[in-house]
Structure 1
């Protein structure tokens, strides 16, 4: 038998708080370029490369408060292009971009935003009726993960998560809503300096970033760009000591955990000078939330030369066939995981399959599963056998 009257509402009993409904207009709106992760709702931002966003453990972008380490073999600069996309995306979205190593003139190398009416803008035509899925009518809206990022691209206005960039153009000041903040230099003032610098450049950079973040409002988004860490032409010999670089990564990791809703970072590392077999690189990988490696493929001597930037920006009606050929392999060593189920989503299979990447001015750097092309001799043999069978059937 209950002691509560039937006509009495439980929420109006004395001592029970009445839930307050917050209007939709008063809810906190996310910052430009930020959206919740489809896995756990964490705020994520775009790296400027749509296929890389889809690779990051199914979050659809780089979660705030995390760091991504991009390793590259050889003398190519594909990782540097990813950094330019990352910095350009931040400037277009109104974020604060902190540049380490390079002077502020580096901003003139950032790619420009592709206009929707230009030739390099990826066409988004409606699928043909025969290309639709035949499973059921309610599954027709589901697309492929390889093309899911293309629909996120748009103009540089509000509501765009990942922009399209043109490598043949340069980022104009009118398109920049954010600001680029150069950090203290990591190079010694003179090459004939007899003794090392009195203070560590990495420690000075960490103090500089700490001061900038402490004075910034909580709604501002910050990005840290660290290109080619430990490269002798950008960093002094003192920075290459394990005690210096590991303390720098520890300090950056502390900043990421202290500002989990404001800060992200991308670091590149040349593995030709510092291979993954060394203990220093292994420790650096442990201090980063995500680690991927770019392995460029040797150029095909029989293939035609790639088009120049002037020809790419010309009146080319269709996509270039040379852009379809993979230019390197991509290995995923670590991806951000945030819950007990392991996360991963659509990107969980990236550990099991071989990935490749290709770079073009029209589509940027595209990551996709790698598959060996058919041999030309086998194709010619199959065509010859097919034509021979047709002739024999006609004569018979």
Structure 2
């Protein structure tokens, strides 16, 4: 007979805890595991960070200057937190991207166990075991500041699990509907996920995440999907790649930042289809080489930052922002995103002589002529 006290099967179970991974935190809004993009202002616009298992689409500016900086910030944050990195590009050598990442401004990246302090504290014995505030980088901090004038040393990058993909990383002999470059990159990403046991189907505890930095996907070097074929909606290779990439990222502890040259696309339906396959989509409109570069309204900024899509994760609506006009600029050696503040529309030729005289606006004007010009007291 079952007693009243034997109710162990009805005990309330606690919510499963999120894995403790360096450089990540749990969102207070939707309990999603987040990573930093390396740009704190961009993290704020995305709702606190980039969720693990999501894709951020960066629509490049015309000369691919600032979109490349966004990608470098994203990868530099991964180096600081010892995340797995995968860099892919056909337009430039991915090694050049990995070797020119901005260095953090907090402190150096050296490990405490490998450093020997040159100066020892001799004030009191109780201070000798204390760590210097500048001895090492705080890996528990979410997001860091970076200096574009300095690069991370090569010996630090060599200690990170880094995978580089370009046109020389093997070709696919099996016929496929995708282009050989697209299929080769997908297989490369899949192998890295399986080798690191980052798949959600793997029951081993996750201790790290992989950052995918894919540069200029869909440029003319990726295949002949431009011109007439693009107008006829024949871009199955590019959209098929995004669809399979989303499946890989969704089913693994990975996060992806991918840039595309949307200004080269002839068919507007292509970029709308790509946005629908990504979780977040932003578009960069640089002032470089345009009429806005000399416009006094935008003299303090370097381009417009358009938010095309925000993800609604574990909620019915995405994050609601208090502004729709955003700009980006290089401020003090770093890239920041700010609200667009227009200057006051006041003419410089306006002088106080054009204002109404004080006598005409005062109550004494009704007493006959107003105040005299010179008053003697």
Contact 1:187 1:235 in 2 (8 A): no
1:181, distance to aligned residue in structure 2 (A)? 0.5
The answer for the alignment partner of 2:278 in structure 1 is 288
Q: Assess, with a 3 A threshold, how the Cα gap between structure 1 residues 202 and 186 changes in structure 2: closer, same or farther.
A: farther
Gaps of 5+ in 2: 109-135, 172-177, 198-205, 359-370
| Contact 1:79–1:294 (Cα < 8 Å) also in 2 | yes
Relative to the length of structure 1, the TM-score reads 0.67
Specify the alignment match of 2:53 in structure 1: 65
**2:362 is the counterpart of 1:374:** no
Aligned residue runs from structure 1 range 246-285, under 5 A: 246-259=239-252, 262-274=253-265, 278-285=268-275
Deviations 1:145-182 (A, max 9, x none): xxxxxxxxxx7322111111110011113544533211
Alignment RMSD (CA, Å): 3.8
Which of 181, 185, 199 in structure 2 is aligned with 1:201? 181
Following TM superposition, by how much is the alpha carbon of 1:75 offset from its aligned partner in structure 2, in angstroms?
2.1
Distance, in Å, in 2 between the alignment partners of 1:37 and 1:324 is 36
Q: Unmatched 5+ residue regions in structure 1?
A: 118-154, 190-197, 304-322
Q: In structure 2, do the counterparts of structure 1 residues 252 and 300 end up closer, same or farther at CA, with 3 Å as the change threshold? A: closer
For 1:99 and 1:384, locate their aligned partners in 2 and report how far apart those are by CA, in whole Å: 64
State how far apart, in whole Å, the 2-side matches of 1:255 and 1:81 are. Answer: 25
Q: Secondary structure in 2 aligned to 1:47?
A: coil
What is the rounded CA distance, in whole Å, between the counterparts of 2:352 and 2:191 in structure 1? 68
Instruction: Identify which of 181, 185, 188 aligns with 2:163.
Output: 181
Q: Map 1:14-163 onto structure 2 (within 5 A).
A: 14-17=6-9, 30-56=20-46, 58=47, 60-101=48-89, 102-115=93-106, 156-163=137-144
The 3 A distance-change label for structure 1 pair 349 and 378 is: same
Q: Paired residue for 2:146?
A: 165
* 2:293–2:299 CA contact under 8 A, matched in 1: no
Change beyond 3 A, Cα 1:30–1:271: same
Does the Cα contact within 8 Å between 2:310 and 2:318 map onto a contact in 1?
A: no
Equivalent in the alignment of 1:359: 330
* Whole-Å separation in 2 of the counterparts to 1:114 and 1:49: 13
* Residue 381 of structure 1, CA deviation: 2.4
3-state SS of paired residue (2:167): coil
Q: Structure 1 residue 382: deviation in Å?
A: 5.5
Q: Which has the larger radius of gyration?
A: 2
Asked if the contact 2:58/2:257 (under 8 Å) is kept, the reply is yes
Deviations 1:307-336 (A, max 9, x none): xxxxxxxxxxxxxxxx98121111111111
- Distance change >3 Å, CA 245–CA 199, structure 1 → 2: closer
Aligned residues: 307
TM-score scaled to structure 2, two decimals? 0.70
